[in-house]
Chain A
Amino acid sequence: MTPPSVAKTPKLYLDGAFSRSESGRVYEVAGMINVPRASRKDLRDAVAAARRAQPAWGARTAYNRGQVLYRIAEMMETGRGQFASPLGGGRAAARQLDRCLDSLVFFAGAADKLVQLGGSVNSVAGPYFNFTVPEPIGVVALVAPQKPALLPLVTGLAAAVCSGNALVAVVSEIDPLPGLLLGESLQNGDLPPGVAALLSGFRSELLPWVGSHRDVDLVDACGCTSDEWTELARAAADSVKRVLPPTPRSSPLTPELALRCMELKTVWHPVGV
């Protein structure tokens, strides 16, 4: 008897579960049918789930968040096989995966060092102990580039969530499968439900809603064209949210990538009273 061939239907990763778009719509990309075409309501649900999940995630110790990121790297390592073919196979695919793992491990290690790196004790002319600490900004939306499909997404995700943010990512429109597969590593890596969402669909449809959503605190437009970025920034102006610019393809890993997804809090504490 020949074993049955079981084809995998790509799914969104939303609130810790793998689902089709609430709209029921799909689209087709090179050689792959039934890619979910997320609607603005999927985006809304993802942001709502992120908002619910963020406080508990942010309240975990930085050390624990680092451990979760490291475990996601372990899960991606275990699942190398399934990423290979969607990433185009061969040495290029292996190299991209290596660099994804490198990103995850880097931010796993950075998680419990961000406060030291981004914080400071400030000298002030008065009887105050004055210090600044970075805190997670809240809900981050990320627009991943069309190519490469995985590395910038993983880097952006790790940079955002390592400090305690929750993330809603729009994965590559033309090459969505690697981004959607990442959901399985996130779930197996015990990232709490809602902390990260992965949506595939038409950018032209989703981006205006990302920009104008008042409950999104920051947009990482790393994968946007400059026109898309301008549009996002314009839509985001009303709610004064931060919009990070498109990044060059081979930017180095630095803690700055995590720190720019954080908000600085300065405390003035009276001395000698």
Chain B
Amino acid sequence: MATSQTAALPWSSIDPVSSIDAVGVEARARLLAGRSVKRSAKLQALDLAIRCIDLTTLEGSDTFGRVAVLCAKALHPTPGGLESPSVAAVCVYSAQAERASELLRGTSVKVAAVATGFPSGQVSPEIKVAEATEVSRFADEIDMVVDRGAFLAGRYRQMQEEIAAVKQAIGPRHLKVILETGELGGMDQVRHASWLAMEAGADFIKTSTGKIQPAATIPVAVVMLEAIRDFAWATGRLVGFKPAGGIRTSKQAIAYLVAVSEILGGEWLTPERFRLGASSLLNDILMQIQRERSGGYQSPDDFTEA
């Protein structure tokens, strides 16, 4: 759906906060996740998945050394092994962003940093803006968390104003807005929060921090993707999607690719508009690729740690 077609679509009938048929969404998600992608199509999907990964480490125990290992893995997922593209970005805490940006300067791999009081978002608006401003000196992309408390209490304007303020503070850098769908309480709220975030200026909407269960699930992805589609129809602006948290297997990654392809179309199947937030996923994908190429099952021991 190209932007040029937008005007022809009856978007005025779209209700940004329509209620969601949760049972239908679950059924749709099962269909999408059950799609069989094999052989050369699987290899293509896995190659795309690698190029869309935000290789992530968000632990209190992160060190410069750990970040350096992550950056090396992001650039060369299989040193000395099979050929593999680099991932899209590394995703780190704001305190590690400077180090990561030094290590990745001049490469295709971008630096994404979480900000605004990650993971809870429970800090004052001034601190959020200050953190985003500070980190945008080093990071190409900012992953901000929304104030779920404000959203759940119905203070939608406050939530949007914070997003808009952060967007303004970081200038041309990409803003990914983390909704933390596991805390929103239902599919209706997921759609509503997605819409509010996109209206407020999000370049990406992201499911989760990874610190709360449930994190990313296919049904939630379906709801968010449909919101992105409707928003594109309504405004002509194409917003990206980033599932994160609990995505560990190639099968899951392919299910997200299928969902994006089915609901949004091929225009979104690029690192510009689709990211997978993950850490252990990368090695599982590499194992699957090597299994497909060599014909035998692989051992995790043969792959470097991320």
Contacts and interface: CB of A to CB of B under 8 A. Distances in A.
Interface in A185-215: 209, 212-215
Interface stretch (B2-10, B61-69, B115-123, B298-306): B298-306
A22 interface: no
Nearest to B298: A214
A44 interface: yes
Nearest to A236: B296
A51 B297 CA distance: 13
Contacts of B302: 214
B185 interface: no
Contacts, number: 25
A214 B290 CA distance: 11
A82 B106 CA distance: 69
A238 B297 contact: no
Contact of B301 (A47, A213, A215, A238): A215
B295 interface: yes
Nearest to B296: A212
Contacts of B299: 214-215, 239
Contacts of A44: 297
Contacts of A239: 296, 299
A214 B303 CA distance: 12
Nearest to A211: B296
Contacts of A213: 296-297
Contacts of A238: 296
Main secondary structure of the interface of B (DSSP, over half): loop
Interface in A215-272: 215, 235, 238-239
B295 A215 contact: no
B294 to A, nearest CB: 8
A212 B297 CA distance: 7
A48 to B, nearest CB: 9
Nearest to B295: A212
> Which of A47, A213, A215, A238 has the largest count of B CB atoms less than 10 A from its CB?
A215
Contacts of A214: 296-299, 301-302
A194 to B, nearest CB: 16
A99 to B, nearest CB: 34
> Which of B295, B297, B300 has the largest count of A CB atoms less than 10 A from its CB?
B297
> Which of A212, A214, A215, A238 has the largest count of B CB atoms less than 10 A from its CB?
A214
Contacts of B297: 44, 47, 209, 212-215
> Which of B295, B296, B302 has the largest count of A CB atoms less than 10 A from its CB?
B296
Contacts of B301: 214-215
A239 B297 CA distance: 11
B288 to A, nearest CB: 11
A50 to B, nearest CB: 12
Contacts of A47: 297
A44 B249 CA distance: 14
Interface string A125-160: 000000000000000000000000000000000000
> Which of B298, B299, B301, B302 has the largest count of A CB atoms less than 10 A from its CB?
B299
B30 to A, nearest CB: 17
Nearest to A40: B297
Nearest to A217: B299
A66 to B, nearest CB: 29
A235 B295 CA distance: 11
A178 B297 CA distance: 29
11 contacts: A44-B297, A51-B300, A212-B295, A212-B296, A213-B296, A213-B297, A214-B296, A214-B298, A214-B302, A215-B297, A239-B299
Interface of A: 44, 47, 51, 209, 212-215, 235, 238-239
Interface of B: 295-302
Given A214-B298, A215-B297, A215-B300, 5 more contacts: A51-B300, A212-B295, A214-B297, A214-B299, A215-B299
